[in-house]
Amino acid sequence: MKFFLKLFGIFLLAIIFNFCQNKPQSEKPDFVKENIDFAVEQYSFQTAAIEDSGKVLNPRNFIDGKIKYIKPQDWTSGFFPGSMWYMYELTGDEKWRNFSEKYTEALQEIQFLTWHHDVGFMVGCSYGNGFRITGKKDYENVMIQTAKSLSTRFKPVAGITQSWNVDRGWQSERGWECPVIIDNMMNLELLFKATELSGDSTFYNIAVTHANNTIKNHFRADYSTWHVIDYSLEDGSVRHKHTAQGFAHESTWARGQSWAIYGFTVAYRATGNIKYLEQAQKAFEFVATHPNLPKDGIPYWDYNAPNIPNGLRDVSSAAIMASALYEMSTFSENNDYKNWADKIINSLASDKYRAKVGENGFFLLMHSVGSIPHKAEIDVPINYADYYFLEALKRKSELEDRRLY
């Protein structure tokens, strides 16, 4: 009996220790509000610079003292308009709604884009949030048309939507036939939504088939992910398990793992199928128990980066994961996922990762990594890190039932 009591005591201590480790020790009561106030100041500079230009510009990153503005076809074009929608929701200030509408509607043409898979990000973050907030019929139509365009990339033989074309650019030099990246899980939300809006189950069926094959082929036994799975278009078999943005084929690229956690959480929300939630939870468990995850919860750019502990962190992967964990926490009885999310977002909001007002090209967060193998966007601010940071703040405030304004 004594032995069992002792064992129970150790077990309890372990739980408390784990809890204390993940809970931010010193979160200020006005944490969310202070971060929103900061975002208002920073994005007021950003939007003033855009409006002064007389054009509808879309900022992607800030490198060597220069803000890079992008065309609607760029895979990141939905994030800045999406951030504007979150600013509107977080502040209630009509000024942000006006910017949201203007920058979103500049992406009209994306609904017909069929040459890559990222339209889920591009239209989901912009029109998707816009529709959720305003209910505008025009926005609904754009979402459904985009889902139709994305569905043209579905390859029944392999049961997936193809991520990248292989007839041009660096993708044509890798020997791939039909590459699918783990990031593609993020496009499914738009497909699920399109079925809900149109009543056409085609989109839902494509999304579920894609998710099932992603479980089958993209995960290792420890629930880490391969970045790129290349399928045969002849018989649907797997030709390669590769990386594109990670350190090595057998390493785990941090942002890819975050996309998996986020994407399967959404798949559970949309379908109610518990296997998707379990997949998301196990993918997160890989991160939470990884010896290379730094104490502050901000991952290195790859869990197997060669120069840990001196490797670069990827703030974007942390922001995506924090937002996903807030949602995951709503499907769980214990506080662990929320504690983890709180810990990560508190780190992101610290001086180490959050910019000072007026600096950082008027982006909110510093230190994201686009792609080290491509020598692109290394240790810089990037629009999607800001988008998921704001989304995480919004989810946190909703979970804590805070009045924002």
H/E element holding 68? Answer: strand 66-69
Size of the site for ligand GLY (CB under 6 A): 3
User: Minimum CB separation from ligand GLY for residue 17, in Å?
Assistant: 34
Q: Which H or E element spans position 379? A: strand 376-380
Please list the residues that pair with 225 across neighbouring strands. 219
CB nearer to ligand GLY: pick between 220 and 374: 374
Q: At what angle do helices 274-288 and 254-271 cross, to 10 degrees?
A: 160
- Grouping H, G, I as helix, E, B as strand and the rest as coil, residue 69 is strand
Nearer to ligand GLY, 104 or 245 (CB): 245
Residues 164-183 contacting ligand GLY, CB under 6 A: 183
Q: How far is the CB of 370 from ligand GLY (least distance, A)?
A: 6
- Residue holding tokens 């703040």? 393
Q: Least distance (Å) from ligand GLY to the CB of residue 182?
A: 9
Q: Restricting to residues 8-27, which ones interact with ligand GLY according to CB under 6 A?
A: none
Query: Which CB, 183 or 189, lies closer to ligand GLY?
Result: 183
183 is known as an active-site residue: yes
Residues 6+ apart with CB under 8 A from 382: 60, 61, 76, 316, 363, 368, 370
Nearer to ligand GLY (CB atom), residue 90 or residue 380: 380
Least distance from C-beta 119 to ligand GLY, angstroms? 12
DSSP 8-class letter at 187: G
Query: Measured from the CB atom, is 164 or 286 closer to ligand GLY?
Result: 164
Do residues 128 and 266 touch, judged by C-beta distance below 8 A? no
Let me know if 294 is exposed, middle or buried by CB neighbors in 10 A (0-12, 13-18, 19+): middle
Question: Measured from the CB atom, is 97 or 255 closer to ligand GLY?
Answer: 255
CB of 183 to ligand GLY, least distance (A): 4
Task: Reply yes or no on whether 30 is catalytic.
Answer: no
Coil, helix or strand for 242?
Answer: strand
Min dist. Cβ of residue 99 to ligand GLY (A): 25
Q: Is residue 255 a contact point for ligand GLY (CB under 6 A)?
A: yes
Q: Which residue is nearest to ligand GLY (CB)?
A: 183
- Tell the smallest beta-carbon distance from residue 188 to ligand GLY (Å): 14
When asked if residue 227 is in the footprint of ligand GLY (CB under 6 A), the reply is no
What is residue 91's DSSP assignment? H
Taking the C-alpha atoms of residue 357 and residue 43, their distance in angstroms, rounded to an integer, is 9
Residues 6 or more apart in contact with residue 216 via CB below 8 angstroms: none
Catalytic residue from among 93, 118, 167, 336: 118
Under the criterion CB under 6 A, does residue 189 sit at the interface with ligand GLY? no
Nearer to ligand GLY, 255 or 338 (CB): 255
Distance CA(129)–CA(89), nearest Å, equals: 10
Rounded to whole angstroms, the Cα distance separating 207 from 103 reads 28
User: What tokens appear for 44 in the block?
Assistant: 């007021």
Residue of 183, 302, 314, 342 marked active site? 183
Opening angle at CA 332, ends 326 and 336, nearest 5:
65
Which residues does the annotation mark as catalytic? 118, 183
Footprint of ligand GLY (CB under 6 A):
183, 245, 255
